[in-house]
Structure formats: structure tokens, C-alpha cells
A and B are shown apart, each in its own frame.
Chain A
């Protein structure tokens, strides 16, 4: 497998803030790689350095064998970046803006083909400001595809969309992946990352604090199942941490999340404890652990905070 992106010791400082601190990772060609992290974790700065928009203070970046810090312009020819949908002129037609962007590149694809790919052919003659949110987002995606890029950067492609539009975009992303595109995805939706990404890197405070497949991230944190309990009158986190079958407890407001590998026996224990001690516990539920749990555990924050 060829390597699409190789980042070594990437470091960027703004004044006293280490925005990105010795970040290293590799992305293989054809992979969907998720970069997750709370706001201010350094994701955007990291991506902007890989895209050639910012120069790192220290570190090297290779993109498809090109040294990004030296040949930023060559990199722009082979990457496609989808930003938030507002970054397009209003009073321009869908077909026009695709052709305009095509003109920026040495090689570009026919507008029809791209519009077909993102199902916007019927909107070819519509003005950008008449499109729905999902259509605008698909147009933003189309603009990232005009130069047949080898590496695609998607910045929160489904944020603020309704479930149907979100599913539509995910299908397009899966289609692009099948065509062999390397995709670097930045998303606020954990289940999206879990569903789409082959590997996920979690960033916090300028560093990659975990990097693995979603399944391995979950199992490495001993997070097979999660028992969620609402404990309104202050059953403490410590109380549950002492239970033998509980591996770990995380707190999310009034909700306690007990991580365990023995969900059913633990439930039985809890029911007994409740009767013995007259605890008031509400809404007990059991589910499989998700990437969201890993994230909460590692960063102490929810992704959308």
C-alpha cells in the first residue's frame, strides 16, 4: 500500500500556545482517516499545514511523495478540500462555479460528471443561494472533486444537515472511497466517524492522544459495554467505581456511564444494591460502548462541546 500522507513531528506555536505539538501519523492511500478532537485541539491547524496553507515551525509533511513545505503549489493540484458550504459566491450558478474552479487546475473533470457524482445535475442552472443546506454541502463537495484529487479533505461534511441529507452525503463519501480516494475527515459526529473511518486519530491539546481503528480504540479502553444510570440524588461516581465488575466510570452531567465487560452480571448486582440500600436510580440502560465513550474518557469532554 502506498502512503498518501506522512506527517512527522509536526509542531506549530502561536505565541505561548502550542497549537500542534510533535504530531506524527501516516495515512495510507485509499484510507478514510478521521481526525477528531474538541474545539481548539489543533485539528484545523494540523490540516491546514498538510494542505500547505500554513508552514509548520518544525516537522515534515509528505503528501503523495511531495514535500508540502517546499512545494505547496504542486500539492494544491492533487488535493481537494471541502469547506463549510458558505464559502462560495451567492449569485453564481452551480454549473458556472464548477467550471470556474475547474479552470484553476491544470487538469479538471467535466462539470457533468462531477454533478452526477454528487446528484446535483438538476441544479446545474440554479443559483447557489437558492440551494438547500444539503445541496450546498454537496456543491462544496463537488468543488473538492473538480481536479480528480488523490487526497480529499472533508471538514465537517454533514454538520447542520437533517438525517436524510446526512445519509446522502455519507453515501457519496463511501462511493468516493470505493473509487480509491484517500479521505481525511473531520467531523463532530462520532457515529459518523465510527461508521466511515477505517482509522481515527483523537487530538487534544495539540497532540494525538489515540490513534487506531474505531473497534480497537473501544476495546483498548476496556469499553465493551456501557451501563448508563441517571442518579439524580447524587450517587457518587466513587460508589460505582468500587463495584468489582466496573472497569471505569465516566460522568456526563447527571448521567453516570459504567464501562464493563460483564454487562448483565453488573446489572444484576446493581438491582440488588438498589433494593438493599434503597437507592433511587432512574433510567438504567445498557448499550455497546461507542467512540463517543472513548472520546469522553480520553479528553474529558464531549465532542460537540
Chain B
């Protein structure tokens, strides 16, 4: 247990000291909400203020940056440098190493979410409401889906440079097809089944339902199920093919 706490403290320090990662994961989503919020401040989409629609989308983007992009990049870099090989020569268990790593990405994602909500509400008068527990549950399942997807991506990455490129190549379709910035109705019909299978769309839909319609578990269980499906599938692939060296 002490080892895990030590691992979490160290990973947090490493995260806070990596300026580029810090900018991408924390500052970039804030810049996005400031720009989008300002541009669309007077508009309303699907009958709700645009900011209410955009806030979950930008939270989704921030989640992916913290849990997926940052995960892929940091794991690849540590693997490349032989840090995992060095650690395998100590009694540190790999479960502890991974648990610490994942917890830190999750905490960063939560911190990022809270910041975005605060800015959304304070600056752009975004509405927040509905069942807070469900809101957190959706975020957590989504974070798990993105973290496990990140582990899957590390399998295909050869070095640190390609880690950034590949995770971006996955992040953009997930963001644009996943309804982060515009409603599903805006997508061509033939793409919609694909969009509906994406964890981003499911997360965005569920968050919007909770806030805008006060949906309960009954209204979002399908979205949770699809995201859990991603978690299970990605975990299975990662467990089988993840490379430590």
C-alpha cells in the first residue's frame, strides 16, 4: 500500500513537471472552452444554450488527452528508456506500477473536468444539474475506456515520436465523430451507426441526458454498457499483447 502511495506521488510529480503534457492535458481544453464558449455564447443548439452542449464535449476531449494520449506517450517513453526493465529488477510489482499510473491519469482527468465545469459555469453560465453520482459514474467509466484504449495503442507504437502521432490520429476521429463539438444529427446518415459505437459519443450523450433531461440510470444504461464493452474489449487485448520491453 505504501509503495502504491509512493508510486502515485512520484507519477503526479512527473506529470506536473512535464510541461508539454501538462499543457496538452490541462491548458489546451481550457483554451478550447474559452474560445468555443466566446464564439457560440449567444447561440443555442437543439434548443439548449450552445455551452451546455459543448461542455460535455470538451470534457470528453480533456478525458481522452489525460487518459489516452498522455497514457500512450508516457508509457511508450518509459518503455523506450528501459525504465520498466530497471523496475522489473526491483521487488515492485507490475500491478502496483500500473495501478499507480492509471490512478494518476484518472485524477488528472477528474481535475481537468472540475476546472472545465467551473469555467463553464462561472464564465459562460453553463447549466449543471441532474444526478451528480451518475455524472461521476459516466466520467469514470469513460476514463476507464480511454485508459484501456491507450494501453491498446501502446501495442502499435514503436517509439516515443509515433506515440504522439498515433494517439492524435485516434483522438481526432473519436472527438469529431463522437459528437464532442456538434450533434449527431449533423453527421451523414451512413456514419451514424459508427458514431453510436464510439465511447466518446456515448459519454457525451449520457452526460447531456443527465444534465439536460435529468435522466436516471434507466435513461443512460445503454451508453454505460457500450462504454463498458470498450473497457472489456480493450482490457482483453491489452492483457494479451501489452509489451513491457
Distance A76 CA – B92 CA, assembled complex (angstroms): 9
Contacting pair A87 B82 (CB below 8 A)? yes
Chain A interfacial residues counted at CB < 8 A:
23
Contacting pair B91 A81 (CB below 8 A)? no
Contact of A83 among B7, B86, B91 (CB under 8 A): B86
State which residues 75-98 of A face B: CB under 8 Å: 76-77, 79, 81, 83-84, 86-89, 91-92, 96
Residues of B within 8 A of A105 (CB): 90-91
Select the stretch in B13-21, B55-63, B167-175, B201-209 that faces chain A: B13-21
Distance A121 CA – B86 CA, assembled complex (angstroms): 23
Give B192 Cβ to nearest chain A Cβ, in Å.
44
Chain A residue with Cβ nearest B2? A103
Chain B residue with Cβ nearest A52? B89
Residues of B within 8 A of A31 (CB): none
Contacting pair B86 A87 (CB below 8 A)? yes
Give the size range of B's interface with the partner.
20 to 34
Contacting pair B86 A91 (CB below 8 A)? no
Contacting pair A77 B18 (CB below 8 A)? no
Given the known inter-chain contacts A83-B82, A87-B81, A87-B82, please indicate yes or no for A76 contacting B6, CB distance below 8 A: no
Q: Which of A73, A101, A103, A143 has the most CB of B within 10 A?
A: A103
State which residues 1-51 of B face A: CB under 8 Å: 2-3, 6-7, 10, 13-14, 17-18
Residues of B within 8 A of A83 (CB): 82, 85-86, 89
In the assembled complex, A293 has its CB within 8 A of some CB on chain B: no
Sort A-B residue pairs by CB-CB distance and give the 6 closest, nearest first: A87-B82, A91-B17, A87-B86, A104-B90, A81-B89, A103-B6
Report which A residues bind B (CB closer than 8 A).
51, 53, 73, 76-77, 79, 81, 83-84, 86-89, 91-92, 96, 100-101, 103-106, 143
